[in-house]
């Protein structure tokens, strides 16, 4: 379950932009990894977290992808966020941490490792998305 938590200052990102970022993140994640859309979670958190920048992307993904894929994914996500919200580069930073897929159950199924996805898993993900 990719989980992208966008830490933002209070009242700084209106709903229309949040929805646009969520859609863009879903497009980017699925385009980079091939994961079903229904597995991509995006949350906006107006928390008082103390990061180095006022805006922060705290992502969590399944472990096992190449460094190249991970770097491209983070770069694409951050670019999309900046383009949609207009936040300056100096005000935005991010990271993606990883954990074993087998630690998570989603849709009643233990997540497969990247590259070990089955047709059943893809089918379930598409059904969950309603398409």
Partner 1 sequence: MSRVSFNCTMQEGQIGEELRAKLAVALQQITEDVLGESPDDVPVTFSNIPSGFGFRGGEPSTTSLVRGSIVGGVTQEVREDLMRRICDRWMEISGCTVDELVVSARDV
- Taking the complex as a whole, how short is the minimal distance between the CB of residue 44 and partner 1, in angstroms? 5
Binding mask 86-105 for partner 1 (x = CB under 8 A): -------------x--xxxx
Cβ proximity to partner 1: between 23 and 82 the closer is 23
Q: Which two tokens stand for residue 120?
A: 């059943």
CA distance linking residue 7 with residue 120, whole number of Å: 34
Binding mask 108-127 for partner 1 (x = CB under 8 A): x-x----------------x
Q: Considering the rule CB under 8 A, would residue 44 count as an interface residue with partner 1?
A: yes
Strand-pair category, 41-45 with 3-7? parallel
**Secondary structure, 3-state, 49-100:** CCCCCCEEEEEEEECCCCHHHHHHHHHHHHHHHHHHHCCCHHHEEEEEEEEC
Q: Which two tokens stand for residue 48?
A: 């008082």
Cβ proximity to partner 1: between 16 and 90 the closer is 16
Cβ proximity to partner 1: between 22 and 73 the closer is 22
Question: Which residues, including other chains, have CB under 8 Å from residue 50's CB and lie 6 or more apart?
Answer: none
Q: Considering the rule CB under 8 A, would residue 34 count as an interface residue with partner 1?
A: no
Binding site for partner 1 (CB under 8 A): 1, 3, 15, 18-19, 22-23, 25-27, 37-46, 99, 102-108, 110, 127-129
């Amino acid at each position: 379950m990719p989980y992208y938590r966008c830490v933002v200052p209070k009242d700084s990102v209106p709903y229309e932009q949040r929805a646009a970022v969520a859609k863009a993140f879903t497009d980017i994640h699925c385009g980079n990894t091939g994961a079903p859309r229904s597995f991509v979670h995006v949350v906006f958190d107006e928390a008082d977290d103390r990061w180095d920048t006022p805006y922060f992307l705290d992502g969590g993904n399944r472990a096992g992808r190449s460094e190249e894929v991970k770097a491209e994914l983070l770069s694409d996500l951050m670019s999309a966020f900046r383009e949609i919200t207009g936040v300056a580069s100096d005000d935005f930073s991010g990271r993606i941490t990883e954990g074993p897929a087998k630690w998570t159950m989603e849709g009643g199924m233990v997540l497969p490792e990247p590259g070990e996805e089955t047709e059943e898993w893809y089918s379930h993900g598409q059904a969950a998305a309603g398409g």
